[in-house]
Amino acid sequence: MQEFFQQVVSGVAIGGIFASLALALVLIYNAMGLVNFAQGEMAMLATFVALTLINRGVSYWLALPLTLLIAFAGGVAIQRVVIRPVERAPLLALVIITLGLATLLNGLAGFIFGYVPRSFPSPFSADTVDVVGVFISYRDLGVIAVSGLVLLAIYFLLQRTTLGLTMRAAAHHPEASRLLGVRVSWMLALGWGLASAVGAVSGVMVAPILLLEPNMMQSIIIYAFAAAVLGGIESPLGAVVGGLIVGVTINLAGAYVPGVGGDLQLAVGLAIIIAVLVLRPNGLFGRAAVRRV
Amino acid sequence: MLQRVRSAPPRYWLVVIAGVFFLGLPTTVSSFLASEWGQALILAIAIMGLNILVGYSGQLSLGHGAFMALGAYTSAILAHRYKVDYLLTIPISALFTGLVGFLFGFPALRLSPLYLALATFALAVVTPSLIKRPEELTGGVQGIVVTQPDPPGPARDVFAAITGSPMTSDQWIYYVSLFCALVLFWVAWNLIRHRPGRALRAIRDGEVAAAASGVNVAAFKTLAFGISAFYAGAAGSLYGLSTGFVSPDAFPVDLSIQLLVGAVIGGLASIPGPLLGAIVAYFLPIGANQWVPSQDWIPDQVASTVKNAGPAVSYGVLLVLIMIFAPNGIVGLVRQGYELLNRRLRGAGDREAGQMPPDPQTV
Amino acid sequence: MSPFGPRMAMAVGLLLAIAGCGGGNNSGSTDPGITSDQILLGNTIAQSGPAAAYGTIANAEQAYFNYVNSQGGVNGRKIKFKILDDAYSPAKTGPLTKQLVEDDKVFLMFSGLGTQAQVSVRSYLAGQKVPQLFVATGATTWGKDYASNQWSLSWQPPYQGEAHIYAKDVLDNHPNAKIGVLYQNDDYGQDYLKGLTDGLGDKASLIVDKESYDVTAADTATQLAKLKAKGADTLFLFSTPGFTIKSLVIVTKLHWEPTIYLNSVSNPQVYMGVAAKSGAALKNITSVGYLKDPTDPQWANDDGMKLYKTVIANCSTCKADDGFNLYGVAVAYTMVTVLKQAGSNLTRKNVMDIASGQLNDSTNPFVLPGVKIQTTPDDHFPIMQEQVITWAGTGWKLQGGLIDERGTIK
């Protein structure tokens, strides 16, 4: 029984990691109706920037906001330079550009920083909490807590501020928004900047656990997609809940479903994606989209 | 007859020249280069399949590497375990993969383009670990060795007569790949020219309108998946033959991305596009990694940066640049250039009667 | 007539030119790759993609060859080393190897990386009679299957041999252990597991559970929790460095303190440092080594280590602390030894014969003192000695003496 709870708790721990990246994916989708295949790589690069600052002597608590600013600026820059020229292009073009970006950023990180895994400092200690024989570390809890805070911040921004409303309007009804005087293009840039910053938070929280190296996010991006899709790709709350569910599911499947074992955890992630998309495409918290003819 | 030859549009001459080029290639270059070009042709077949799905029917798949893996392994298992003659396994694998693709098309109908991209991307990432699992069947991590056949007597004689040197296995496999490519390109050309092509394009450009016009949207979309998988399966089968080995790590997600890159760079919704795209997608990483550092006129810093940054960076940069500046790929650029030239030379546009306007990208 | 005809002809002509440029100059009676002043060696390795961390090995080998060239080369010839990136995919290894053999006309293939990748070209190279020397993998097949693959050879101790040593250590020091094994589900992990099971012999029942993971796994928490729940008090980690580090952290997180056996690929000190900083307690860890560790202070004044530091300083992308680089320099030393031993008879056949059956070198300054690099007509594993090391808080401590596994793998 204890093993079962440990599996669940470990699943929650890894699920928090999925959730943090899924939040960034959801933000981009809210801004643009697009899944950004380069989100993980952008987050990873931002984390490397943070490490570089810290190695140069900048204190962690100063490096963190600096990194977020740099990530924000980077996201905006990418939108202006790479995405805007193809804004009105069909979906395929956008998907390919984000794929190209992902390849580019990954290669760049490998080229600049090398491939040896590195440790990354965490504001949370590596100690574990012992709850009747089941263990979770403070770092894992920290990831979940920070994701929760980011979730609140995003919710507040998107649902309760005019800026958020403007962003959502620009994403869903660009033409109408333009008529109302919204600078749609800059709203998109803002969306990218925010998503990039959220990704940076994810990277910085996750790197102490996953170890910082260029391929760090590649191991979890599919799970993050599964989390976002499961939760409803528009819903930040869905991203967090989805992440936790995906984490627990792959752990339990790996531990208890014969034939899955530890080898096919990723296949479980794929199965979740397909199952959700076929059975309930809007996920747990998404709204059904009406198809206009 | 001569009249028809004289009045044939330039496109047909291009095809003839390309045909002569590819037929004659192994007689003039090394066996190794022939095998390289053979690989590019194989990639072109897979990209042609992807093009039918993405360019013509408007469904976005990022996971065609998985279909290639299926075709490759089907052939390898049939040849290795059941001692089926390898060349015979090619159509069998293609049909089998096509069937699987067709079945795949049904759930795919329900997915929006973005979600389809996501699901197929996940499939591509999972493919190596899925292959590793059924170890007795697939050989697991050890992979399956594919014995490359010797060229058959008649082919060997003809080749020796022309070039004076014996035909290698690689060269024979090149010709097998070329033959398959010619056949499959011809089939695709005919498909596109006639009703299926028009139906697919109608679906791509406006599903609801197409349905309203009486096109059986679901049937054509699943059919497109099936055909596209058929091509990928054939390509996968040839891939195994050409490399002599199939293993899980030979089908990473990079392969699916390479196919997409090739499709886009060449130019979607065109017949020559996949061939051109395959050539670029195949030779670019090699060029970046090897050719650039070996050129003395390129300054050392630039060369070593290109070499160290690796193909990933050049691929990524190329992809981004192409999508921004030339979204219709090489074929699109050539068409634009041709139109420009025409206008300059003749004053007014000179469109051939009955030719459809070039496909814009509307996926 | 279309204007493209002449351009096609030019393209063909260009290709002919490229094809023609491929070969090196060849004096008739020697093998390809040998000229009066140069020996051309070829290599394929992962320098991009998921296994890119290993790519530095080839750069370290290049650095050593440069050093040897600066000292006059091998019997008057300089070594030229051509490295190609196959991104760990066997699909790329094939064409690149063919290119090196047929186009660049290398003398032999040296230190190719990756079992799947190198196995995929094994029969091709044998067919071309090109030596596939000192492949950079410890998979046991390289020495074991020599009889059917006489043009291929490994260098480092085979994984199964290493696992035999762990088995012996367990039986000697923890005869009532409850063993749990975490292994990567590929040839690497499976090879180690087989070696352990064989080494335990009829005590193989000491293994209470074994769990595998795929390289696409997010982490190994599921497997480790299971192993702990099954009551294992001895844990074997047959994993690649990234996963080993993360597993060490998870073990500590689970408040579990088993005796840990770590495999040699993951034991470079630099990785242990990362594990410690990430929260691993690193208690009770045993491994084996056969190379000197660059971060071990006991070698600070060692001549071999000083030579290594000199050599590696000329590789701009190599970190001197990285154990992979020391590996590269060590195996390059053996390559040079073989070439020197061939003397003026620099043919592929002679070099292959020497490497696979006539090696007897005790001078390698980069391996642990006493390790002999040796092959005989009956034994084609060049290195079969390793020494047990245990983690002592800040570094590895050598224990006992060298253990010789020669002859244990048939």
CA-nearest residue of chain A to B104? A274
- In the structure encoding, which two tokens stand for residue C209, read together? 């559970």
Task: Test C18 with B33 for CB contact under 8 angstroms.
Answer: yes
For β-strands C234-238 and C179-184, DSSP reports them as parallel
Q: Which positions in chain A touch B311 (Cβ < 8 Å)?
A: 107
Residue B336 belongs to a domain: no
**Residues composing chain B:** 363
- State whether residue C109 is helix, strand or coil: strand
From B16, which residue of chain C is nearest by alpha-carbon distance?
C5
Q: Is B360 on the interface with A (CB under 8 A)?
A: no
Within a domain: B52: yes
Q: How many CB atoms lie within 10 A of CB C11?
A: 12
B363/A91 touch (CB, cutoff 8 Å), yes or no: yes
Task: List all residues of chain A from 74 to 93 with a beta carbon under 8 Å from chain B.
Answer: 82, 85-86, 89-93
Please give, rounded to a whole number of angstroms, the shortest distance from the CA of C310 to a CA of chain B: 23
Per-residue pLDDT band for C25 (boundaries 50, 70, 90) equals: very low
Residue A154 above 70 pLDDT?
yes
In the stretch 14-33 of chain A, residues with CB closer than 8 A to chain C read 14, 17-18
Which of B62, B111, B320 is closest, CB to CB, to A101?
B320
- For each of the domains in chain A, give its residue range(s) and CATH number, in order of start: 2-279 (1.10.3470)
Tell which B residues from 339 to 358 touch C, by Cβ distance under 8 Å. Answer: none
**Range list of H helices, chain B:** 2-7, 10-28, 31-51, 64-81, 86-109, 113-132, 135-138, 153-163, 169-193, 195-205, 207-212, 217-243, 253-266, 272-286, 292-294, 300-325, 329-346
Mean pLDDT within A111-139? 86
Running DSSP on this structure, what letter comes out for residue B250? G
Task: Return the number of CB contacts < 8 Å for A and B.
Answer: 141
Taking 50 as the threshold, does the pLDDT of residue C18 lie above it? no
Does residue B293 form part of some domain?
Answer: no
Q: Measured between alpha carbons, how far is B227 from B230 in angstroms, rounded to an integer?
A: 5
**Residue in chain A nearest C87 by alpha carbon:** A107
Band of residue C232 on the pLDDT scale cut at 50, 70, 90: very high
What is the predicted pLDDT for the residue at A263?
79
A257 touches chain B (CB under 8 A): no
Per cent of chain C over pLDDT 90 is 60
Burial C203-218 (b: 16+ CB within 10 A, else e): eeebbbbbbbbbbbbb
Q: Which of A160-169, B242-251, C192-201 has the highest mean pLDDT?
A: C192-201
- Does A107 contact B at CB distance below 8 Å? yes
Digit-coded pLDDT (tens) for C277-299: 988 999 899 999 999 988 888 89
Of chain A residues 162-201, which have a CB less than 8 A from chain C? none
Is-contact C287 C263, C-beta < 8 A? yes
Query: Each residue of A202-222: pLDDT tens digit?
Result: 999 999 999 999 989 988 999
Which residues of chain B fall below pLDDT 70? 1-8, 292-294, 296, 300-311, 347-363
Taking contacts as CB-CB distances below 8 angstroms, the residues of chain B near A278 are 107, 110-111
B61 to chain A, closest Cα gap in Å: 10
Q: Residue B141 is nearest to which of C1, C11, C187, comparing CB atoms?
A: C187
CB contact under 8 A, C1 and B142: no
- What ipTM was assigned to the predicted interfaces of this complex? 0.88
Best interface-test mutation with B: which of A26, A86, A91, A99 has the largest number of B CBs within 10 A?
A99
- Burial class of residue B318 in the structure, from the number of CB atoms within 10 Å of its CB (0-12 exposed, 13-18 middle, 19+ buried): buried
A241 touches chain C (CB under 8 A): no
Burial level of C249, CB count in 10 A (0-12/13-18/19+)?
buried
DSSP characters for A244-284?
HHHHHHHHHHHHHSTTTTTTTHHHHHHHHHHHHHHH-TTTT
β-pair partners for B24: none
User: Residues of chain A with pLDDT > 90: what percent?
Assistant: 41
Look at residue B354 and tell me if it is in a domain: no
Evaluate if pTM is beyond 0.80: yes
C58 and C328 Cβ atoms separated by less than 8 Å: yes
Q: Are B257 and B265 in contact (CB under 8 A)?
A: no
Q: What is the pLDDT of residue B301?
A: 65
Provide the residue type at C26 as one letter. N
Give pLDDT tens digits for A18-73. 999 999 999 888 888 888 999 999 999 999 999 999 999 888 999 999 999 999 99
Q: Say whether C274 and A119 touch across the interface (CB within 8 A).
A: yes
Comparing CA positions, the residue from A217, A223, A235, A243 lying closest to residue A19 is: A243
pLDDT at res. C28: 42
- Closest Cβ opposite residue B310 in set A37, A91, A107: A107
Sign of CA dihedral B261, B265, B270, B275: negative
What's the whole-number mean pLDDT along residues C177-192? 92
How far is C77 from C92, CA to CA, in rounded Å?
31
Chain C nearest-CA distance from B113, in A, is 26
Put simply, whether B107 touches C (Cβ < 8 Å) is no
Domain extent for B124: 10-252
DSSP code per residue over C388-404: EEEE-SSSEEEEEEEEE
Interface test with C, best of B245, B259, B307, B338 (most C CBs within 10 A): B245
Whether C50 and A263 lie within 8 Å, measured CB to CB: no
CB < 8 Å to B36, chain C: 95, 99
How far apart (Å, rounded) are the C-alpha atoms in residues B38 and B20?
15
**Taking CA B320 as the corner, what is the angle to CA B317 and CA B322, rounded to the nearest 5 degrees?**
105
- Interface check for B121 against chain A (CB to CB < 8 A): the answer is yes
| Min Cα–Cα distance to chain C from A128, Å | 6
**Domain presence at residue B4:** no
Is residue B125 less than 8 Å (CB to CB) from chain A?
yes
Examine residue B307 and state whether it is found in any structural domain, yes or no.
no
Summarised one tens digit per residue, pLDDT across range C45-89 is 998 777 888 889 999 999 999 999 999 999 999 999 999 988 888
Q: Neighbouring chains of C at 3+ CB pairs within 8 Å?
A: A, B
B197 in a structural domain: yes
Give B312's contacts in chain A (Cβ within 8 Å). 103-104, 106-107, 110
Q: Quick one: tokens of A33?
A: 């109706």
**Can you list the domains of chain C with their CATH numbers?**
38-157+297-379 (3.40.50.2300), 160-289+389-404 (3.40.50.2300)
Query: For residue C17, what pLDDT is reported?
Result: 43
Gyration radius (Cα) of chain B, Å? 21
Asked if B309 and A273 come within 8 Å (Cβ–Cβ), the reply is: no
Query: Among A6, A113, A116, which would you mutate to test the C interface (most chain C Cβ atoms within 10 Å of its Cβ)?
Result: A116
Which chain A residues are within 8 Å of C222, Cβ to Cβ? 7, 10-11, 250-251, 254-255, 262, 265
How many domains is chain B built from?
1
Tokens representing residue B249 in the block: 């790590």
Q: Is B359 within a domain?
A: no
Evaluate if residue C23 carries a pLDDT over 70: no
- Residues in C closer than 8 angstroms to A139, CB to CB, are 279
Contact of B103 with B269, CB cutoff 8 Å: no
Per-residue pLDDT at B349: 47
In whole angstroms, what is the distance from residue C185 CA to residue C167 CA?
20
Each residue's pLDDT tens digit, A72-123: 999 999 999 888 888 777 777 888 889 889 988 988 898 888 888 899 998 8
Calculate the alpha carbon distances from C380 to C118, C131, C142, C329 in Å: 17, 14, 8, 21
Kindly list the residues from chain B whose CB atom is less than 8 angstroms away from the CB atom of residue A25: none
